[in-house]
Amino acid sequence: MFGQSGTLNGHEYVNLGLSVKWATCNVGASRPEQSGTYYAWGETAPKYDYSWDNYFDAVDNEGERFYEYFTSTFNRRGKNRISPDSGRDAARKEWGGSWRLPTKEEMEELIDRCKWIWGNINGQNGFWVIGPNQNKIFLPASGCIDGMERHIYNRHGLYQTSTLYYQQYECTLYFISESRSIGNLNRCAGVPIRPVTY
């Protein structure tokens, strides 16, 4: 059905004919249509409230917010993404091996080189993503969690990348039934992860 290519550390992947292999499920899911676990960018555990008040990298100083770890530290070193070995990659932490968060460029490759067909599995809307070699994966439209509320579930899809957009924003894959693109989202929001490996 999916053109399964193999398993790594007990998790299936598909070779879509791209630069990386894509997992068949989200982190925390056991089936392709399941949302799995939602993560704030750079955090490696789920939580009840996805807000700036409990985000690891938000420091409030007299009403002004600072983003210390991924702006001052990483930008000073000329870096703009989460390294798989940084301890901040939830895909690597949960699945081990060579699993990791996809980069912005790998998400762009998924958009540009694959055919996207809107559909559903067991009532869950999402996109079938068909690679140049005709193998495919399913990305459910799982929405996101802002604060304590899940939003736009079963209508919009957002997927985390390892890439920082700017200060408080991360780069995310964003889609609705009519379009898909790379956008930006507050890093404190909860977003699903679809891992990749080489």
> Residues 35-73: pLDDT tens digits?
999 999 999 999 999 998 899 887 665 555 555 555 544
Structure confidence at residue 166 (pLDDT): 80
Taking the C-alpha atoms of residue 104 and residue 28, their distance in angstroms, rounded to an integer, is 21
Number of domains in the chain: 1
The whole model's pTM is what? 0.91
In a domain, 143, yes or no: yes
Instruction: Answer yes or no: is 155 within a domain.
Output: yes
Please indicate, yes or no, if residue 1 is contained in any of the structural domains. Answer: no
Please indicate, yes or no, if residue 42 is contained in any of the structural domains.
Answer: yes
Domain residues for the domain of 133 are 6-197
- Structure confidence at residue 81 as a pLDDT band (50, 70, 90): confident
Whole-angstrom CA distances from 108 to 31, 172, 173 are: 24, 10, 8
Domain contains 56: yes
Using the predicted structure, report yes or no on whether residue 138 has a pLDDT greater than 90: yes
Within a domain: 17 = yes
The answer to whether residue 189 is domain-embedded is yes
Instruction: From 182, 145, 170, select the one nearest 71 (Cα to Cα).
Output: 170
